[in-house]
Structure 1
Amino acid sequence: MPYAKIAFALALLTPAGAFAATADPGEVQYRAILKELVETDSTGATGNCTTLVEKVAARMKGAGFPAENIQLLVPPDDTKAGNLVAILPGRQPDALLLLGHIDTVNAKRADWKRDPFTLIEENGVLYGRGVADMKSQAAAWIDTLLRFNKEGLKPKHTVKMALTCGEEGGGRVNGAKWLVDNHRDLIDAKLGLNEGGNGEMTQDGKRVVVSVLVAEKGGGNFILEATNPGGHSSRPRPDNALYSMGRAMDRLSKLEFPVTFNESSKGFFTRMAPIVGGETGAAMARLVANPKDADADRIVSQSPLWHGMLRTTCVPTMIEGGHAANALPQSVRLTINCRLLPGDTIDNANAMLLKAIADPELTLIKPEQGPSPVFPKITPQIMGPIEKASKDQLGGTPVVPFMTTAGTDGRTLNAAGIPTIGVSGMFREPDGNGVHGLNERYRVSVIMDGRRFLYQLVRSYAEGDL
């Protein structure tokens, strides 16, 4: 019976909401990997990365990948923060590293429309925690290594894959940093490929650019404290600590750091202006020419992503306070998460925050200044294979280097001397696809295009000149 007929028959038997069958036999393995990744809880609150990497190791061995080339590495002081390193030996010892974190941000089932730990396909869209950040790409790394091994590929360069825990925090040991500090030889490479290079697409599914992450913001968490003697709630007082914090939060909502370009962001907006076109593209060009152009800033900053690329940002993310429902609060603490542009400092952010808060009765505690970020040098040697893969697999969508407003484990590897960029060929919609939020999703077509893109890209680097 031809495969297409078998696939059609299986589709008829697939229950509603399940991961639908595919007519492409090459995608079956990938879909099974992705399903296992998403349906194994790896959050910091309720999950276990070690359980997940054990499943991945078993799957890879079952598919014929040599057991001696797979290592499970678990920090002794965090037994749920397991990592996996798999190695496909090349003809030369220098290596290409495929880096991917397999932990995810927490997800409360009660808040989601669907079970976050069940991979559900509806109307050509896959839902599940980690689908977009970054289990679809991690599944592509696993799938690619298994395909190379099955094909008997002996690449010019050794290909290494590190699946790590702790990138999202949640109390877990950061696997990338732990591997650098304790098993550097296993992950050492001339080039690392990581997450963060998510392409941009319009809401109706039109690809805009293939993004290549070449720089990251820094930053840290400030703590703002309001203290008060408190007292019985039946005797209200005007200096209520919650009132003080509420007024400070209102003033913080109006804080805007100035537009500041660096080499990465200036190059990004310069390239994006003609691609975007129209009023927004013209505003990008004007803003590059004059960072103080308020009207251009207003237009470009309608995109939360672009707004964050243009400036340092500080935003309240958590609040805690009070000790009883019938008592005036004695203390309130506000966490303010700041994302600093390269070159900006904690001291400058501290000064800007104090000016905005404008209340000497409140106490602002600043984090320590971290080391200056290190970024890889972007060469035609690096960009060429990406541009070729985009031409072959993504319809020639323009390739544009950019600076992420978030942070990745690439920062750790770059600081350790392993040049690392972020690229996936998987496109996110303007709202960010629910990453770190509710009902995280990816279009099936986006994932499968990205899978083909990444296979070609990894093979090009592995067989080319690093």
Structure 2
Amino acid sequence: MRGLAILAAVAALALSALAGPAAAAPQPGEAAFRALYKELVETNTTQSSGSCTLAAERMAARLKAAGFADADLTLFALPEFPKDGGLVAVYPGRDPKAGAILLLAHLDVVEAKREDWTRDPFTLFEEGGYFYARGAADDKAQAAIFTDLFIRLRQEGYRPRHTLKLALTCGEEGGRFNGASWLAQNRRDLIDARFALNEWAGVNLDAAGKPVFHAIMADQKTVGTYRLEATNPGGHSSRPLPDNAIYHVTRAVDRIAAYEFPAQLNDVTRAYFGAMSKIVGGERGAAMAAIVADPNDAAAKAVLARDPNDHAMMGTTCVATMFEAGHAANALPQRATATINCRIVPGVTRAAVRDTLVGLIDDPQVTVSESRGREGVAGPPLTPQIMDPIRKVSEQLWPGVPVVPTMEAAATDGKALITAGIPTYGVMGLALEPDLGHMHGLNERIGVKSVLDAREFTYRLVKIYADQKD
């Protein structure tokens, strides 16, 4: 009998080894979180056919079911934009004199066509260790994590020193109405806070899925969009002339394409390149160290320009994104236009970039007009009060992975809050693959472990901030 028992034990061990490591124990409230995340992701919030208002109402219903009073939940939507509404929820703190902490996430997602996707983009699929769906990462993972956090803390009976606020808004991906800007300009009282946590940055993974560094977004570029236009009387295509609207705009675009804006580093980008130079090493790392020492180092700039992220981090960039011209195949063009999209470093005005484009084009036949938008503002300081808790929790979950401040080359709703005087940081704890999980593209995905780790990271971090002394 003893021999049989030993054989059984050996067989069990062998089967266990074949099965691989044991699955991690579920997090507290994980099943409820998954259900909330699924409901949010499967609520279509595209501009064309979805409703952020419905998503906000569903999240408010979950918070109310968890015990939040009606007075702590503010649903908002303008009559002219009934589907672009949002939600502000308040978790009262025990010290009314302590400044609040705001958690900001957007509910809207970019468009997705079912015929282009492998799976229905508005159904949450879990396959091979990934969640697949439009918005699975950008930004419904963050919105779900923040909403779940409020529910989790309420169920624990937690009483923070600082009041916590949650703002779920619409319009970050563009469109008719931007909820974050509207709140900052019209209901500042609802979202007023000592600082805010927003999307973006995250734990950067290499191609093998290994964490390389934990990025914290401390600054953002400003978006500037410019329209180049040339007009001409036109005529029959059998009588071509050198004065051609298409030629004028094409030459203008070529001159912009050949131009490199000067490297313009600030405290955040110097810190980024300084830290990353030690992480990546080699030629690229040496170029990072060199650009910190001398932003005019042409050789270093040439090396860093090979990497799109490094290139974007060095300074302002402009790129042609749209072109329209002509009205008939057998007619000389009467009009040609090109759209130039620029991402402008803080401290440089959109007007200054326009002046640079006009000087590069050097053609009176081409007009340069600029779309309206916010001017850039410098990001908030990375104080020990902000960074020390991030480093502490990051080390707990991703030991040995350095925390690195970054400047976002795109733009987020955090810019509206920073402009309104609320320091805002991109801190989300999601682990992102080099391709960003196909955000805005086909078959968007995010690792299941990434979402659950980010949930735990946010839970631990916000509790530290919520009990922090001033």
Alpha carbons of structure 1 residues 345 and 369: separation in structure 2 relative to 1, 3 Å = farther
Which one-letter code corresponds to 1:43 in the other structure? T
Given candidates 73, 79, 87, the residue that maps to 1:84 is 87
Q: 1:59 to 1:222 in 2, by over 3 A?
A: same
* Aligned partner of 2:367 among 353, 363, 369: 363
Q: What's the CA shift for 1:299?
A: 2.5
Partner residue in 2 for 1:31? 34
Cα distance, 1:389 vs structure 2: 0.8
With over 3 angstroms needed to count, the CA separation of the structure-2 counterparts of 1:113 and 1:234, relative to structure 1, is farther
Q: Could you tell me which residue of structure 2 aligns to residue 310 of structure 1?
A: 314
Q: CA deviation at 1:184?
A: 1.7
Aligned 1:290-309 pairs, distance under 5 A: 290-309=294-313
Structure 2 CA distance, aligned partners of 1:95 and 1:345?
Answer: 32
**Deviation of residue 34 (structure 1)?**
2.0
CA contact (8 A) 1:37 1:135 kept: yes
Q: Secondary structure at the match of 2:57?
A: helix
Instruction: Work out whether 1:351 is the aligned partner of 2:350.
Output: no
Displacement of 1:100:
0.8
Contact 1:105 1:170 in 2 (8 A): no
Write the distance in 2 (CA, Å) between the matches of 1:328 and 1:27: 64
Structure 1 counterpart SS, 2:268: helix
CA distance in 2, matches of 1:359, 1:439: 43
Structure 2 CA distance, aligned partners of 1:23 and 1:457?
20
Unaligned runs of at least 5 residues, structure 2: 1-23
**Corresponding position of 2:13:** none
| Match in the other structure for 2:433 | 429
TM-score by length of 2: 0.88
Aligned counterpart in structure 2 of residue 246 of structure 1, from 250, 263, 267: 250
1:139 paired with 2:144, answer yes
Letter in 1 for 2:178: N
- Where do 1:213-362 residues align within 5 Å? 213-232=217-236, 238-324=242-328, 327-362=331-366
Corresponding position of 2:43: 40
Closer, same or farther: CA 92–403 of 1 in aligned 2, 3 Å: same
DSSP-derived class of the 2:458 partner: helix
Inter-partner Cα distance in structure 2 for 1:25 and 1:462: 20
| More displaced 10-residue stretch of structure 1: 117-126 or 185-194 | 117-126
- Distance in 2 separating the partners of 1:67 and 1:370: 34
Contact 1:165 1:174 in 2 (8 A): yes
- Secondary structure (helix, strand or coil) at the match of 1:185 reads helix
- Contact 1:43 1:170 (C-alpha < 8 Å) held by counterparts: no
1:358 offset after TM fit, Å?
4.2
Q: Please, which of 139, 155, 159 is the counterpart of residue 154 of structure 1?
A: 159
Aligned length: 445
Shift of 1:63: 3.7
**1:80-103 deviation line (CA, Å, top 9, x unaligned):** 111101111110123111111111
1:61 maps onto 2:57 in alignment:
no
Task: State which structure, 1 or 2, has the greater radius of gyration over its C-alpha atoms.
Answer: 2
Other structure's SS at 1:157 match: coil
Paired with 2:428 and 2:420, the residues of 1 have a C-alpha distance of 22
Q: Percent identity?
A: 51
Residue matched to 1:125? 130
How far apart in 1 are the matches of 2:79 and 2:287?
53
Q: CA deviation at 1:324?
A: 4.4
SS at match of 1:131: coil
1:269 Cα deviation (Å)? 0.8
CA 1:109–1:363 in structure 2 vs 1: closer, same or farther (change >3 Å)? farther
- Partners of 1:67 and 1:394 lie apart in 2 by 39
User: In 1, distance between residues paired with 2:249 and 2:120?
Assistant: 36
User: Could you tell me how far 1:200 is from its partner in structure 2?
Assistant: 1.9
2:181 to 161, 177, 183: 177
Q: CA shift at 1:151, angstroms? A: 0.7
Shift of 1:126: 2.1
- Provide, for residues 299-356 of structure 1, a one-character-per-residue CA deviation record: whole Å limited to 9, x for no partner: 3233212211101011122233334455443212222111111122334322332344
Preserved contact between residue 224 and residue 336 of structure 1 (Cα < 8 Å): yes
Q: After superposition, give the CA deviation of every residue in 1:347-368 in whole Å (9 maximum; x if it has no partner).
A: 4322332344343322111356
The CA deviation at 1:388 is 0.9
In 2, the alpha carbon distance for the partners of 1:153 and 1:316 equals: 51
CA contact (8 A) 1:45 1:170 kept: no
Which of 52, 69, 72 matches 2:75? 72
Q: SS where residue 218 of structure 2 aligns?
A: strand
**Counterpart residue number, 2:412:** 408
Tell me the equivalent position of 1:104: 109
Note the aligned Cα RMSD (angstroms).
Answer: 2.3
Matched, 1:385 2:389: yes
